[in-house]
Structure 1
Amino acid sequence: MLELTEWLFLVLMITQFIFGNLGNGFLALVSGSSWFKSKRISLSDFIITNLALSRIILLWIIFIDGVLLVLFSNVRDSGVLIQLTDIFWTFGNHLSISLITCLGVLYCLKIASFSHPLFLWLKWRVSRVVVWMLLGTLLLSFACTISLINEFKLYFAFSGIDSTENMTEYFRKKRHEYDLMHVLGTLWNLPPMTVSLITYFLLLLSLRRHTRQMQQNSIGSRDKSSEAHRRAIGIIFSFFLLFLLYLVSFLIFSLGRFVPQSKMSVMIGEVITMFYLVGHSFVFILGNKKLKQAFLAMLLCKSGPLQPGST
């Protein structure tokens, strides 16, 4: 018989799972519509489409893991299933965060205005720079996933130990080494997060300079360039806020690995993580003019072709 907290957990998971698939599915459909029609797609739409698809995969991973946690905990704790979950989650999670970074760099190079030679060089080659970043992102995601081999070796080491009284301390040591290595694996996300932080501050600085120029020339601060700055900043800043929430959930989940009876911490962590994946998709929709128009048209049941999103 399920407890009240488990029922509440399942209701929250199912609700967020539905909204997450709808939101990210809408993003993928609208952003990728030109790809299906004309076999051509802008770089920003390409990134948003793949970002939405990666998050749909992450939503399915968390949802399946949550259901197994409540209803089939013995099956979930089996070694093979844990490893498969870790592989798909690690690759998809790192790819999702890196795609956000690539999108932030694209927005920054297209919108921000600086006279520094290096920035101008990057701005003139923005498409090439972002394409190379996407390739690097894919390679880093694979490298991050391959690094799990050491974790799996440790897992097999302590899972094969006979937990007699003489081996109990050794078993605990190996288990803690495995959990610590799992937590340290998040350091792979540090490079893309650092780049995202840099692009955010560059956009803020560019907006500040642009606003001052408009004020000196007695021009209103609501011009197209200022609006583009604000939309890009809003998307990146919301990502940081939601990602901080995600880090909190990961901290809760990670601490649960080092204490007994960690089921509650895992449930809390998974609910918050799913909220991060769901929330940012709707931030994208509301922060993008064409996506917002298509979303409102869908809600109002208006007919008409879907338009690809842009900044």
Structure 2
Amino acid sequence: MLGLAEYVFLVLSLAQFGLGLLANGFIGLVNGSGWFKSKRISLSDFIITSLALSRIVLLWLLLVDGALIVFSPKDHDSGVVMQAIDVFWMFMNHLNIWLVTCLDVLYCLKIASFSHPAFLWLKWRVSRVVMWMLLGALLLSCSSAVSLIGEFKAYADFSRINGTGNATEHIRKKRRYKLLHVLGTLWNLPPSVVSMASYFLLILSLGRHTRQIQHMGASSRDPSTEAHKRAMKIILSFLFLFLLYFLAFLIIPSSYFLPKTKTVMMTGETIAMLYLTGHSFILILGNTKLKQAFVELLRQLLCLALILRFLNP
């Protein structure tokens, strides 16, 4: 019998999964069709499209994982299926975080303005820098997935000892497994630090530029000032959701050491889905091409709804 927490978790998961699938599918469809027609794609569109595709996979993994938590908690804690899900999750999640980081660095180097020689050197070579980051992201994501082998071995060790009567050895092996599981989240630390640095540099640059415009006597409704304010809002939204996502990956591994493990894991997965869905909608609203296509789609859907209502009064 499912409790209230499980029902709420399932409803939220299905709602966020549906919205996330629509948002990321829309991004992939718009950018993919543009790439197919023109045979060319910008670096930012390539990253955003790759990000959308990776998030579709992550949303499916979260949905399956959430279903196992609710309906089959024993299978969720062990088994070959969970090991396969863990490997795919580790690879796709790490790649997703690095793709966001590459996008942040790209925006930072293209929009921000600093006179430091190192920043100017990177700004002049922005495409090359981001391409090397993408290659490094792919290699690091593969490495993070391979690192799970040690965790699986530790799990097999304490599972084999369980039931032999050696309680002390079982507890020691289980603690080692849990420690390795928690340390696995450290793979997310380097891209998180780079992404946070990009956020703050971009916010600092945009804030300084806005003050310069206002100091020159431009009105608060000046188009350039308004554009910078919109950019600030988008960046702050990115930052807020990114911090939520990072919090989710502190909550989920920590669930091993907290009471009510199931509730803690459901909370962490809900936050993770919120980021994957919310961040994608912010990408749509913050990108001119995607926003125009989204508004046009809504207009067509509204017209279709009015026509159907007129035909079926």
1:35: how far off?
1.2
Alignment of 1:275-286 (within 5 A): 275-286=274-285
Bigger mean CA offset, 109-118 vs 126-135 = 109-118
Any gaps of 5 or more consecutive residues in structure 1? 304-311
Contact 2:30 2:290 in 1 (8 A): yes
C-alpha distance in structure 1 between counterparts of 2:178 and 2:9, whole Å:
24
Contact 1:108 1:199 in 2 (8 A): yes
C-alpha distance in structure 2 between counterparts of 1:59 and 1:118, whole Å:
38
Structure 2 equivalent of residue 120 of structure 1: 120
Structure 1 equivalent of residue 72 of structure 2: 72
Structure 2 equivalent of residue 57 of structure 1: 57
Counterpart residue type for residue 7 of structure 2: W
Q: 1:51 to 1:253 in 2, by over 3 A?
A: same
Alignment of 1:92-241 (within 5 A): 92-165=92-165, 167-220=166-219, 226=225, 229-241=228-240
Contact 1:107 1:232 in 2 (8 A): no
Q: 1:248 to 1:112 in 2, by over 3 A?
A: closer
Q: 1:87 to 1:223 in 2, by over 3 A?
A: farther
Alignment of 1:75-94 (within 5 A): 75-94=75-94
C-alpha distance in structure 2 between counterparts of 1:206 and 1:248, whole Å:
27
Contact 1:111 1:229 in 2 (8 A): no
Structure 2 equivalent of residue 6 of structure 1: 6
Counterpart residue type for residue 80 of structure 1: V
TM-score (norm: length of structure 1): 0.89
Q: 1:275 to 1:255 in 2, by over 3 A?
A: same
Q: Does 1:299 align with 2:298?
A: yes
Q: 1:35 to 1:77 in 2, by over 3 A?
A: same
1:260: how far off?
6.2
Secondary structure of 1:32's counterpart equals helix
Structure 2 equivalent of residue 309 of structure 1: none
Q: 1:54 to 1:212 in 2, by over 3 A?
A: same
1:6: how far off?
2.0
Q: 1:231 to 1:216 in 2, by over 3 A?
A: closer
C-alpha distance in structure 1 between counterparts of 2:117 and 2:265, whole Å:
48
RMSD: 2.2
Structure 2 equivalent of residue 308 of structure 1: none
1:222: how far off?
5.8
Counterpart residue type for residue 96 of structure 2: S
Greater helix percent: which structure?
Answer: 2
Structure 2 equivalent of residue 39 of structure 1: 39
Bigger mean CA offset, 206-215 vs 184-193 = 206-215
Contact 1:200 1:233 in 2 (8 A): no
Q: How many residues align?
A: 302
C-alpha distance in structure 1 between counterparts of 2:127 and 2:227, whole Å:
19
C-alpha distance in structure 1 between counterparts of 2:15 and 2:273, whole Å:
10
C-alpha distance in structure 2 between counterparts of 1:260 and 1:207, whole Å:
44
C-alpha distance in structure 2 between counterparts of 1:142 and 1:202, whole Å:
29
Bigger mean CA offset, 1-10 vs 95-104 = 1-10
Alignment of 1:248-259 (within 5 A): 248-259=247-258
Any gaps of 5 or more consecutive residues in structure 2? 303-313
Q: 1:63 to 1:214 in 2, by over 3 A?
A: same
C-alpha distance in structure 1 between counterparts of 2:220 and 2:153, whole Å:
58
C-alpha distance in structure 1 between counterparts of 2:96 and 2:234, whole Å:
15
C-alpha distance in structure 1 between counterparts of 2:192 and 2:232, whole Å:
15
Contact 2:108 2:201 in 1 (8 A): yes
C-alpha distance in structure 1 between counterparts of 2:251 and 2:236, whole Å:
23
C-alpha distance in structure 1 between counterparts of 2:224 and 2:258, whole Å:
51
Over the matched positions of the two proteins, sequence identity in percent amounts to 61
Q: 1:227 to 1:137 in 2, by over 3 A?
A: farther
C-alpha distance in structure 2 between counterparts of 1:55 and 1:251, whole Å:
20
C-alpha distance in structure 1 between counterparts of 2:264 and 2:283, whole Å:
29
Structure 1 equivalent of residue 27 of structure 2: 27
1:197: how far off?
1.7
Counterpart residue type for residue 255 of structure 2: G
Q: 1:115 to 1:162 in 2, by over 3 A?
A: closer
Contact 1:151 1:178 in 2 (8 A): yes
C-alpha distance in structure 2 between counterparts of 1:259 and 1:215, whole Å:
51
Contact 2:24 2:55 in 1 (8 A): yes
Structure 2 equivalent of residue 289 of structure 1: 288
Q: 1:228 to 1:140 in 2, by over 3 A?
A: farther
TM-score (norm: length of structure 2): 0.88
